[in-house]
Structure 1
Amino acid sequence: MDIRVERDGDELRVDVQDNGPGMTPDELARACEPFFRGQASGATGSGLGLAIVSDAARTMKASFTLTCQGAGLLATLRLPMARAHPVDTAAARRP
């Protein structure tokens, strides 16, 4: 598994790439549904992980995408960066 985190313009991009069997186009379309598990995964989990990430991304006004690139799956989370607000240092020093 490879994990990459980088700034991409005004977003923070987190990529997680595995080298598993990947997913079919039909599985990719359903992968973020609660309790869905792909046929080839052999996973013993509940099928909630991707659904939780997808819902959390939506709540944070982020995006979450899954892509199959040959063998393996690429999950990309794009989070908006917070904008810095200038600090009024003179006002901060007033009693």
Structure 2
Amino acid sequence: MSTETLWLGIGFLGQIFFSARFLVQWIASERVRRSIIPPAFWLFSVFGGGTLLAYAIYRKDPVFIAGQAAGLLIYARNIYFIFRETRAADGSLDPAGRS
């Protein structure tokens, strides 16, 4: 297998992860009959965005790199909020976000 073929596979894997987040969101929303964004949406966003960022770096595409890097910051921040909210709900964090 050539390096180019391997990176194409990585690029497609990232696209599969990134696209799966919409399927996860759709299924979760259908279950509760309202629009929601489950934590898995953000996890697929990070995995897909990270994989696509690696592919963009390999391709040396500055537009693609900037887009994926900016998105990763947003996805990671949402995961942080979910983690903090979960810790607050179980009593290990006060409402102001302190341990």
The TM-score, its normalising length taken from structure 2, stands at: 0.27
Structure with the bigger RCO (C-alpha within 8 Å, sep 6+) is 1
Higher relative helix content:
2
Which of the two has higher C-alpha Rg? 1
Higher relative strand content:
1
